[in-house]
């Protein structure tokens, strides 16, 4: 059997850096996986040094569309730490609300993509249908479906009223029921279990050593969640559980996300019923900051997101370092592919939630004949 | 133009992300689900660029992705069209001026339709594709 | 008091005051870095590399490499600040001690040009386009203007 090389990608837009996986396989068995990065490198860190503090809120939201509010949260809370800016409690609660709505739609999306990758297309379509109401709720709160631009330095830009509050609670009831049903499908469906159980196992010790974060780490049984360990926004006041599963395989990582979605719905309910009164943003916009630096951490849907912001005083940052969760999970998660089958590669990659692209393509090169052809990652998952 | 008329009934899309933040990508994906029902226009996601009639480009075009974009475009059979979705694919958006961008899909491949927005709504993306179809029909200037 | 922070204080590192809670910032010389990190993971093995962030202080003439480590058990962030001269920034690698540091080292080398001695996987073009690489530019250094 000839050793074949299969580049997966490169258009896999995993947040900050989409990558190409270069899979070397002996027959069906994966021998080695390498990674090629840089297709999505847009130089946002450098651009940030050019912009003012306020303009950067919009720039850093656009590093990732799916987790735009957590990027805005990490940046603004870092800047607020440097400037010693107090955020009003109502704004803190509203920030928590929008971040949790984002987590709900992000987790449903990746579960849907997982269904598609294993070839369960009707489940994908159903989950996408049930995700739409959550997008609608985001629009209701922020005015936009995806990129919300909800944040401003020291607060948020829009308030919420009783009508919107009731609408959110009502829609989430239906979403909760559906998420519970999909969790049941994922745990009980025979075909899904065949594809997910025991695939891409990462042991707890390895997960820590290789610096994996988020649901990938918690799926290996390590209890680590920025929301409870290093509380920000209103998480210090909101009761919630940190979900862990011990399996370390693809199913465990997916089940962590399902349970987290249910937790997020509870958090949204708590936030809406305990919303404090008061202002939502400072009266005058913040323009100048003193010198200083901040290490700002947030639990994004995909794991720990960290910004290192350095200020030398003035109206612009001196340096902003961004490290997104997928940067660790994709590149350091290569350990999970060892001994896997080729058809499992897309499943394992999807279980890390590397954000989503609907045109993943795979180039198969037969080393003997030198022929190459493009097929979709999805089809590879089905064993084409 | 006989071939143009054939495409009109069932344009197959291929979607390529050239360095987007995913915002446009999830909206392109959402526009392909039954909620927005693109198949009433015959629009379907093609499995392969060689089967596709219309390429949907999202994202600020990075220098590394530009080579791939050109290659994918060359692989598509004629007649072929490109739809640039979102502010970044049109001009580079907030990222314009960066050292790793060529900014704008039209710097690399000819673009027939621009769908503005950050990101555009799924309805807007479908509208852009349908407008392209009526353009083929001679129904639009 | 966290075991990790206690260990770092006991080996005589200079601690810097920071405003944020749960952040402990220490200054380390490049020669002592490996000793400190290997000591740290002996004290508490549940530590991961959150990120490695390099800042180019052009007027001061050095590049500061920040190793951000998160201790899962104690819920503390330890930041080790290592200074390297700007004309030849070299620090020892820690990716053999904590494998999770590899991607951050590659990223820092490609964008700021800090050489992690002992890491044989360093290469240009990890993120930046080949055009920038061929000009020998490290984009996140301060003398490169957008």
User: Does A217 share its domain with A350?
Assistant: no
- Please report the pLDDT score of residue A38 as a whole number: 65
The whole-angstrom separation of Cα C81 and Cα C15 is: 10
User: Does A25 share its domain with A53?
Assistant: no
Which residue of B lies nearest to C125 if distances are taken between CA atoms?
A: B64
Q: Which of A326, A342, A365 is the last residue of a domain?
A: A326
Q: Which of A326, A355, A372 is the last residue of a domain?
A: A326
Chain A contact for B124 (CB, 8 A cutoff): no
Asked, for residue C142, whether it belongs to a domain, the answer is: no
Which residue of A lies nearest to B102 if distances are taken between CA atoms?
A: A42
Q: Which residues of chain C does B98 touch, with a Cβ-Cβ cutoff of 8 Å?
A: 146
E strands in chain B: 12-17, 44-45, 54-58, 81-85, 113-115
Mutate to test the interface with A, among C41, C100, C129, C139 (most CBs of A within 10 A): C100
Contact criterion met (CB < 8 Å) for C129 and B64: yes
- 3-class state of residue B66 by DSSP: helix
Query: Which CATH number characterizes residue A58's domain?
Result: 1.10.645.10
Which residue of C lies nearest to A304 if distances are taken between CA atoms?
A: C50
- Please report the pLDDT score of residue A20 as a whole number: 67
Asked, for residue C143, whether it belongs to a domain, the answer is: no
The whole-angstrom separation of Cα B58 and Cα A58 is: 18
- Taking a C-beta distance cutoff of 8 angstroms, is the pair A92, A233 a contact? yes
Going by pLDDT thresholds of 50, 70 and 90, the confidence category of residue A291 is very high
Q: Which residues of chain A does C53 touch, with a Cβ-Cβ cutoff of 8 Å?
A: 308, 319, 321, 323
User: Does A359 share its domain with A312?
Assistant: no
Residue in A42, A46, A64 closest to B62 by CB: A42
Asked, for residue C141, whether it belongs to a domain, the answer is: no
Contact criterion met (CB < 8 Å) for A374 and B35: no
Which domains can be identified in chain B, with CATH numbers?
2-133 (3.40.50.12280)
Domain count, chain A: 2
Identify the chains in contact with C, defined as 3+ C-beta pairs within 8 A.
Answer: A, B
Chain B contact for A374 (CB, 8 A cutoff): yes
Distance set, CA A110 to CA A301, A353, B130 (Å): 10, 6, 29
The whole-angstrom separation of Cα A297 and Cα A151 is: 16
Residue matched to tokens 């080695």: A32
- Please report the pLDDT score of residue A166 as a whole number: 94
Helix axis angle for A121-142 and B23-31, nearest 10°, is 120
* Least confident among A50-54, A65-69, A160-164, A289-293: A65-69
Residue in B24, B62, B94 closest to A58 by CB: B94
Q: Which residues of chain C does B99 touch, with a Cβ-Cβ cutoff of 8 Å?
A: 128-129, 132, 137, 139, 144, 146
Closest CA to B92 of B113, B129, B66, B70: B66
Contact criterion met (CB < 8 Å) for A359 and B16: yes
User: Does A236 share its domain with A97?
Assistant: yes
How many helices (H) and strands (E) are present in chain A, helices listed first?
Answer: 14, 10
* CA of A349 vs chain B CAs: smallest distance (Å): 17
Domain count, chain C: 1
Cis peptide before B79 (omega within 30 of 0): yes
- Please report the pLDDT score of residue B5 as a whole number: 65
- In chain A, the percentage of residues whose pLDDT exceeds 90 is 54
Going by pLDDT thresholds of 50, 70 and 90, the confidence category of residue A368 is very low
Asked, for residue C140, whether it belongs to a domain, the answer is: no
The whole-angstrom separation of Cα C7 and Cα C36 is: 9
User: How buried is residue A87: exposed, middle or buried, by Cβ count under 10 Å (0-12/13-18/19+)?
Assistant: buried
Q: Which residues of chain B does A13 touch, with a Cβ-Cβ cutoff of 8 Å?
A: 17, 19-22, 25, 59
Which residue of B lies nearest to A363 if distances are taken between CA atoms?
A: B48
Mutate to test the interface with A, among B15, B21, B99, B101 (most CBs of A within 10 A): B21
DSSP per residue, A37-69: E-TT---HHHHHHHS-HHHHHHHHHTT-STTHH
| Segment A294-305 mean pLDDT | 92
User: pLDDT tens, A21-30?
Assistant: 777 777 778 7
- Please report the pLDDT score of residue A297 as a whole number: 93
Domain with A370, as residue range(s), is 3-40+328-381
- Taking a C-beta distance cutoff of 8 angstroms, is the pair A342, A27 a contact? no
| Segment A85-89 mean pLDDT | 93
Mutate to test the interface with A, among B12, B15, B16, B17 (most CBs of A within 10 A): B17
Contact criterion met (CB < 8 Å) for A208 and C53: no
Q: Inform me whether the pLDDT recorded for A356 exceeds 60.
A: no
Mutate to test the interface with B, among A42, A104, A117, A324 (most CBs of B within 10 A): A42
Query: Which CATH number characterizes residue C128's domain?
Result: 3.30.460.80
Contact criterion met (CB < 8 Å) for A297 and C77: yes
Going by pLDDT thresholds of 50, 70 and 90, the confidence category of residue A355 is low
- Please report the pLDDT score of residue C84 as a whole number: 93
Domain with C123, as residue range(s), is 3-134
| Segment A5-28 mean pLDDT | 57
* CA of B42 vs chain A CAs: smallest distance (Å): 18
* Least confident among A214-228, A311-325, A336-350, B83-97: A336-350
User: Tens digit of pLDDT per residue, chain B (141 long)?
Assistant: 566 666 667 888 888 888 778 888 888 888 888 888 888 888 888 767 888 888 889 888 888 788 888 988 998 888 889 999 999 899 888 888 888 888 889 999 999 999 999 889 999 999 998 888 887 776 554
The whole-angstrom separation of Cα B92 and Cα C112 is: 24
Contact criterion met (CB < 8 Å) for B99 and C128: yes
- Please report the pLDDT score of residue B2 as a whole number: 60
| Segment A279-304 mean pLDDT | 91
* Least confident among A76-80, A309-313, B96-100: B96-100
- Please report the pLDDT score of residue A381 as a whole number: 44
Contact criterion met (CB < 8 Å) for C146 and B99: yes
The whole-angstrom separation of Cα C129 and Cα A134 is: 38
Q: Provide, for chain B, the percentages of residues in helix, strand and coil under a 3-state DSSP scheme, each rounded to the nearest 5.
A: 45, 15, 40
Decide the pairing of beta strands A361-365 and A3-8. antiparallel
Q: Which residues of chain A does C4 touch, with a Cβ-Cβ cutoff of 8 Å?
A: none
- Please report the pLDDT score of residue A39 as a whole number: 67
Chain A contact for C35 (CB, 8 A cutoff): no
User: How buried is residue A23: exposed, middle or buried, by Cβ count under 10 Å (0-12/13-18/19+)?
Assistant: buried
- Please report the pLDDT score of residue A2 as a whole number: 66
CA angle (B23 as vertex; B38, A361 as ends), nearest 5: 70
Closest CA to C13 of C42, C35, C41: C35
User: Does A30 share its domain with A93?
Assistant: no
Consecutive sets of 10 residues in chain C, 146 residues long: mean pLDDT of each? 87 87 92 92 90 92 93 91 92 91 88 90 79 83 81
How big is chain A by its Cα radius of gyration, in Å? Answer: 21
Q: Inform me whether the pLDDT recorded for A73 exceeds 60.
A: yes
Which residue of B lies nearest to C130 if distances are taken between CA atoms?
A: B64
Q: Which residue blocks in C11-101 are alpha helix, DSSP H?
A: 33-43
* CA of C124 vs chain B CAs: smallest distance (Å): 14
Which helix (H) or strand (E) is C111 found in, with range? helix C102-112
Residue matched to tokens 């209103």: A234
Q: Which residues of chain C does B62 touch, with a Cβ-Cβ cutoff of 8 Å?
A: 129
User: Does A308 share its domain with A337?
Assistant: no
ipTM field = 0.93
- Please report the pLDDT score of residue A1 as a whole number: 55
- Taking a C-beta distance cutoff of 8 angstroms, is the pair A205, C98 a contact? no
Residue matched to tokens 């509010």: A69
Mean pLDDT of chain A: 83
């Amino acid at each position: 059997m000839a050793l074949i090389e299969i580049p997966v990608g490169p258009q896999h837009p995993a947040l900050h850096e989409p990558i190409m996986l270069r899979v070397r396989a002996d027959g069906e068995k994966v021998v080695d996986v390498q990674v090629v990065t840089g297709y999505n490198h847009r130089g946002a860190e450098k651009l940030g040094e050019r912009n003012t503090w306020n303009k950067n809120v919009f720039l850093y939201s656009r590093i990732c569309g799916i987790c735009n509010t957590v990027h805005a949260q990490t940046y603004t809370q870092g800047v607020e730490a440097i400037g010693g800016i107090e955020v009003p409690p109502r704004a803190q609660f509203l920030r928590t609300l929008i971040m949790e709505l984002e987590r709900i739609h992000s987790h449903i999306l990746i579960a849907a993509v997982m269904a598609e990758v294993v070839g369960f297309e009707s489940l994908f379509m159903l989950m996408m249908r049930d995700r739409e109401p959550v997008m609608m709720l985001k629009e209701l709160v922020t005015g936009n479906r995806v990129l919300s631009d909800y944040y401003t330095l020291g607060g948020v830009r829009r308030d919420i009223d009783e009508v919107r509050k009731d609408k959110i609670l009502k829609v989430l009831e239906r979403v909760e029921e559906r998420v519970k049903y999909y969790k049941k499908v994922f745990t009980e469906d025979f075909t899904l279990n065949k594809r997910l159980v025991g695939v891409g196992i990462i042991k707890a010790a390895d997960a820590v050593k290789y610096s994996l974060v988020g649901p990938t780490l918690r799926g290996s049984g390590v209890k680590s969640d920025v929301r409870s360990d290093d509380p920000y926004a209103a998480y210090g006041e909101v009761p919630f559980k940190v979900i862990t599963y011990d399996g370390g395989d693809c199913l465990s990582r997916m089940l962590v996300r399902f349970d987290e979605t249910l937790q997020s719905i509870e958090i949204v309910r708590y936030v809406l019923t305990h919303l404090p009164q008061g202002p939502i943003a400072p009266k005058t916009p913040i323009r100048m900051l003193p010198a200083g630096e901040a290490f700002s951490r947030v639990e994004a849907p995909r794991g720990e997101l960290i910004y290192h912001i350095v200020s030398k005083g003035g109206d612009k940052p001196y340096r902003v370092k961004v490290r997104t969760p997928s940067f660790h999970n994709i590149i350091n998660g290569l350990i999970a592919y060892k001994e896997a089958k080729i058809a499992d590669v897309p499943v394992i990659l999807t279980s890390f939630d590397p954000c989503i692209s609907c045109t993943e393509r795979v180039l198969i090169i037969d080393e003997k004949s030198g022929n190459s052809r493009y097929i979709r990652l999805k089809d590879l998952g089905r064993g084409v | 133009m006989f071939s143009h008329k054939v495409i009109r009934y069932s344009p197959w899309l291929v979607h390529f992300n050239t360095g987007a933040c995913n915002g446009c990508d999830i909206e392109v994906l959402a526009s392909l689900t039954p909620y927005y029902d693109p198949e009433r226009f015959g629009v379907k996601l093609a499995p392969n660029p060689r089967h596709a009639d219309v390429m949907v480009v999202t994202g600020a075009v990075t220098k590394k992705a530009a080579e791939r974009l050109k290659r994918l475009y060359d692989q598509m059979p004629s007649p072929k069209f490109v739809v640039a979705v979102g502010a970044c694919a049109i001009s580079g958006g907030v990222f314009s001026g960066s050292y790793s961008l060529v900014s704008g899909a039209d710097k690399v491949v000819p673009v027939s339709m621009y769908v503005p927005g950050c990101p555009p709504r799924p309805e807007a993306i479908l509208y852009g594709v349908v407008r392209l179809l009526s353009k083929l029909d001679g129904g639009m200037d | 008091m966290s075991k990790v922070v206690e260990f770092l204080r006991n080996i005589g590192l200079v601690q810097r005051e920071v405003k944020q809670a749960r952040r402990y910032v220490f200054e380390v010389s490049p020669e002592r870095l490996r000793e400190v990190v290997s000591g740290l993971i002996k004290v508490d093995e549940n530590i991961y590399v959150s990120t490695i962030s390099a800042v180019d202080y052009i007027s001061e003439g050095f590049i500061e490499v920040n190793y951000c480590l998160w201790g899962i058990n104690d819920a503390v962030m330890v930041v080790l600040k290592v200074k390297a001269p700007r004309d030849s920034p070299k620090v020892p690698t820690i990716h053999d001690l904590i494998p999770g540091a590899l991607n951050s080292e590659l990223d820092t080398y490609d964008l700021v040009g800090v050489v992690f001695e002992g890491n044989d996987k360093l290469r240009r073009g990890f993120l930046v386009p080949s055009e920038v690489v061929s000009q020998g530019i490290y984009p996140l250094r301060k003398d490169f203007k957008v």
